[in-house]
Amino acid sequence: GQIIHINRKGGEFSSSVMRSNFADSLLTVTDVAFHHEMSDLVLSCYGNGEIRLYHTNYMMPIKTWNLGCLGKRIKEIKWIESRSSCFSVIDEQDCFYLWDLLEDDTQPVLGKDLNDFGGITYSKASKEESNVPFAYFKRDSKSVEIHLFGKDWIRKSEKEFKKFSKLIKNYLISF
């Protein structure tokens, strides 16, 4: 399949419809996320729970996860800015999944069923450090509970970025 409408130069993305090459049904694109360091990589997620990794030079995805969220509609997908190979997904039932493609590129490394899950956002820990991911939970209309990710999820290294770049090259070769 291919994403029909997408804008990567600072414009707003509005969900569009794409046709799968493998079926006659239409799949709704529910969210997209461009990689923060490799702008030619984009993750897209769909109403059927499917996740696809695209390279902007190709019409077809270079990697597909059909059961990434056990078939549940995906609401949000984000790359973890402090880790090149990691992204997070939130499905329609507020289940939260963390993926680390260097650790396991077939399934999430963490999945949590969370009530009142608000989402993932990023904050600067200090001027010298990279953005720190944290999860927030809406407890009621007046309170929010915040949880920082562990140090393993905060670290960012050149070595990890090189490994991730090599993994992407392998995806492109096998594509």
Confidence (pLDDT) at 112: 79
Of 71, 58, 3, residue with least CA distance to 33: 3
Cβ pair 139, 114 in contact under 8 A:
no
Please tell me the number of Cα atoms within 13 Å of 152 on its side-chain side: 5
State pLDDT tens for residues 110-140.
Answer: 887 776 666 666 555 555 555 555 666 665 5
**What DSSP state is assigned to residue 167?**
H
Domains within the chain, CATH numbers bracketed: 17-115+156-174 (2.130.10.10)
HEC readout, 82-124: CCCCEEEEEECCCEEEEEECCCCCCCCCEEEECCCEEEEEEEE
Long-range CB pairs of 5-10, under 8 A, 24+ apart, other chains included: 6/32, 6/42, 8/34, 8/39, 8/42, 8/56
Cβ pair 83, 155 in contact under 8 A:
yes
Cβ pair 94, 74 in contact under 8 A:
no
**Distance of CA 110 to CAs 54, 75, 127, 144, Å?**
23, 17, 29, 22
State pLDDT tens for residues 52-62.
Answer: 999 988 888 99
**pLDDT at 105 exceeding the cut of 60:** yes
User: What mean pLDDT comes out for the span 12-23?
Assistant: 46
- pLDDT range class, residue 35, cuts 50, 70, 90: very high
Helix (H) or strand (E) run with residue 30 in it: strand 26-34
Please tell me the number of Cα atoms within 13 Å of 105 on its side-chain side: 14
